[in-house]
Structure 1
Amino acid sequence: MRPKITLLFLLLLTFIVPIVNSQTTRNTLVEIKEDQFLINGEPTYEGRFWKGNKIEGLLMNSRMVQGVFDDLNPETTVNWEYPDTKKWDAERNTNEFVAHMPAWKSHGLLSFTINLQGGSPFGYSQGQPWINTAFNEDGTLRGDYFNRLEKILDQADELGMVPILGLFYFGQDERLKDEKAVIHAVENAVDWILEKGYRNVLIEVNNECNVRYDHEILQPERVHELIELVKNREKDGYRLLVSTSYGGGTVPKENVVKAADFILLHGNGVKDPKNITGQVEATREVSGYSNQPIVYNEDDHFNFDQELNNFTAAVSSYASWGFFDYRMKDEGYEQGYQSVPVDWGINSDRKKGFFNLLKEITGY
């Protein structure tokens, strides 16, 4: 006779199985050992050199911050209409992002920057009347944004990729009503990641902390407080690795260098590649620097067909580099990864130039 399966047992299965799965089926773990990134215990690009430059341990990336983009202002959504449907669709945007991730990885892209408040969908902007934020004004989470984020982080975990997740963006941080809400938002976002069991996510507290933030705690003098807040939240003995970034060409301040697990630099405005080398050298001289990895996660300079460009200059300094591309005046839909609506494919000359050089450097 078959034993009876009680209703209580079935109910227990219903509640227990999803919890176990969320904690045991993750595939990708990112770690830092000295100045190298490791994925699942092995250095990235293991054993790789390119033109005499060590590539092992670097984290090549691209600025893909609009992966969960939406606009909660009905007066500005007309700006983001797809050319084929003549309407904006946040779910389509995320689904197409996820669909193209394997192609990025196949060229050696191990990381990408995504941001819960996006970035300027025009590349650069003064005013930002659109409302793009994954946080309510009190710092609680918007479920629709985090549902889209989950799709991206799940795919990254499957592919062995390491997203750099930015929490705040200037021009949108004022959507949170006060400092308490900012702190609450950080706690909620970090706890969500930890509860989901992700161990492949790096945190960038805010993009360019020295550029036009409303809340003092997001500005250079105090942003290290939020870095420490992230470091102090953990689950099952695990915490997230965290940093923040500055505007183009800026050398980070001592308070951030001492607190951060890795150092984020931007190359915007750095026209001479030799100054990229200088920026890296100056960063290593900041008091409190302790051999953390140095990562450019935003640089809008290209010239990928030339032997010396900002990408190759960063590599020669043993710094990771990140591609920042946006749709410039009169360019077509296929251009740029930051301009909304985004074509997430590798099908413009700039995109092809970056990914071809990336593939060559990383040996993928």
Structure 2
Amino acid sequence: MTSIEIWGTDFAVDGQLANQGRTLDGIPLDGLLLNSRMINGAFDDANPDTVHQWAYPDTGIWDAQRNTREFLAAMPQWKADGLDAFTIGVQGGSPQGYSTEQPWDNAGFTAEGALLEGYRERLAKIIEEADRLGLVVILDIFYHGQDHRLRDEPALKRAVAEVCTWVLRSGWRHVLIEIANEVNWHSHYTHGLIKADRVHELIAHAKSVTHEGRRLLVSTSFLAHPPIITEQVLAEADFVLIHGNGTPGPERLAEMVEEIRATPGYTPKPIMFNEDDHFDFDKPRNHMKTALSAGASWGYFDPGSVTTNPPQPTIGDYHNGYQAVPVDWTAGTETKRAFFTTLRRAR
């Protein structure tokens, strides 16, 4: 059984400091998790007007079960190449990589906050396989553009409690909870409880869920736009989640780490980038290396198209990226191969 713990500013896996004694191009990896955003492994779409967009090119139809089967089949190679963790979501992420409107229905929950059985089953298969392989799972609960499908704040609280109770009672010890993705973007969420100034209430709610004396480790993620963290979240969260998207250069990631550590009320805890769409893996100076050098875990985010500023949506081509649906979960592109080749350099 795989387990994840926090020891001060470090992550520990299976009772040992994560990546203890290992380096990547001379950068110490002690206590850090090399991770990737694989958010749509349980994706589905209940909207008959949009589901056709995700059709596989060989069949002409969308198949949620196939998507998860292919995710499962790819996982052993990710682990063999050196991946430590991945982020997956109950409500997934934009199946267009980036998008302005989200008419599809990938809610994952009923309007009252009950976890839908199909999502529960697909996520369980992924979490079980991660446990077998020794991979840590960062489980995101809410995603903007889908949270409005839950009726009200009691429904949000029920959803959080139901997910946490399910994980705990399943006996999994390798799951970290991310309440919601990018809570500090003002237009992202319908419900105020998920936005930056109140999301700490949901973090506390998740932490209050226990089973046999155990609770889960909980956080929520922030964009690189101000505020990159709030004092309330910093005080309540077990670890810090931030994103590198939209940053002007690698040095900004190191600045963000220092700003977090200088925030009033900061106490030592791990800092993790679990989404960054900047690559340049062949260069001596890039986002990944800068974050790791600053003592922060780093996560690869390949949206499925060339990164643009501002980002533009793309229809998945079953080849590029790890978010635009349908997703090819193998490392079948130059960009994906460059990431996993970089992981294999860790010694």
Q: Same fold (TM over 0.5)?
A: yes
Give the aligned partner of residue 11 of structure 1: none
Contact kept in structure 1, 2:221 and 2:241, CA below 8 Å: yes
From 222, 236, 240, give the equivalent of 1:246. Answer: 222
Contact kept in structure 1, 2:231 and 2:264, CA below 8 Å: yes
Comparing 170-179 and 249-258, the one that deviates more: 249-258
Q: How does 1:81-230 map to 2 (within 5 A)?
A: 81-211=55-185, 212-230=188-206
Name the amino acid aligned to 2:11: F
Give the aligned partner of residue 328 of structure 2: 343
Q: How does 1:275-294 map to 2 (within 5 A)?
A: 275-294=252-271
Give the aligned partner of residue 30 of structure 1: 4
Work out the CA distance in 2 between the residues paired with 1:235 and 1:279: 35
SS of 1:234's equivalent in the other structure is coil
Structure 1 residue 249: deviation in Å? 4.5
Comparing 155-164 and 40-49, the one that deviates more: 40-49
Which of structures 1 and 2 has the bigger CA Rg?
Answer: 1
Name the amino acid aligned to 2:259: A
Comparing 181-190 and 245-254, the one that deviates more: 245-254
Work out the CA distance in 2 between the residues paired with 1:233 and 1:327: 36
Cα 1:34/1:145, change in 2 over 3 Å = same
Contact kept in structure 2, 1:112 and 1:164, CA below 8 Å: yes
Q: Deviations over 1:260-303 (max 9, x none)?
A: 11100100011310111111111111112111111000111111
Give the aligned partner of residue 207 of structure 2: 231
Q: Deviations over 1:128-177 (max 9, x none)?
A: 00000211000011001100000000000101111100000000000001
Contact kept in structure 2, 1:327 and 1:333, CA below 8 Å: no
When you count helix as a share of all residues, which structure comes out higher? 1
Contact kept in structure 2, 1:53 and 1:318, CA below 8 Å: no
TM-score (norm 2): 0.95
Give the aligned partner of residue 14 of structure 1: none
Contact kept in structure 2, 1:81 and 1:88, CA below 8 Å: yes
SS of 1:235's equivalent in the other structure is coil
> Is 2:290 the partner of 1:316?
no
Cα 1:331/1:271, change in 2 over 3 Å = farther
Identity within the alignment, %: 48
Structure 1 residue 60: deviation in Å? 1.1
Work out the CA distance in 1 between the residues paired with 2:63 and 2:224: 32
Structure showing greater relative contact order (alpha-carbon pairs closer than 8 Å, 6 or more residues apart): 2
Give the aligned partner of residue 267 of structure 1: 244
Contact kept in structure 2, 1:45 and 1:58, CA below 8 Å: yes
Name the amino acid aligned to 1:255: Q
SS of 1:141's equivalent in the other structure is coil
Work out the CA distance in 1 between the residues paired with 2:30 and 2:319: 32
Q: Alignment RMSD, CA only? A: 1.2
Structure 1 residue 50: deviation in Å? 3.3
Contact kept in structure 2, 1:271 and 1:301, CA below 8 Å: no
Give the aligned partner of residue 310 of structure 2: none
Could you tell me which runs of 5 or more consecutive residues in structure 1 were left unpaired when the two chains were aligned: 1-26
Q: Deviations over 1:74-93 (max 9, x none)?
A: 11011000011111000000
Work out the CA distance in 1 between the residues paired with 2:209 and 2:335: 40
Cα 1:332/1:174, change in 2 over 3 Å = closer
Q: How does 1:40-51 map to 2 (within 5 A)?
A: 40-51=14-25
Name the amino acid aligned to 2:282: D
Stretches of 4+ aligned residues off by more than 3 angstroms: 329-332
Structure 1 residue 232: deviation in Å? 1.1
Work out the CA distance in 2 between the residues paired with 1:330 and 1:147: 26
Comparing 325-334 and 111-120, the one that deviates more: 325-334
Name the amino acid aligned to 1:346: A
TM-score (norm 1): 0.90
Name the amino acid aligned to 2:153: E
Q: How does 1:57-96 map to 2 (within 5 A)?
A: 57-96=31-70
In the comparison of the two structures, how many residue pairs are matched?
336
Name the amino acid aligned to 1:149: L
Contact kept in structure 1, 2:231 and 2:263, CA below 8 Å: yes
Name the amino acid aligned to 2:5: E
Structure 1 residue 214: deviation in Å? 0.8
SS of 2:272's equivalent in the other structure is strand
SS of 1:238's equivalent in the other structure is coil
Contact kept in structure 2, 1:249 and 1:279, CA below 8 Å: no
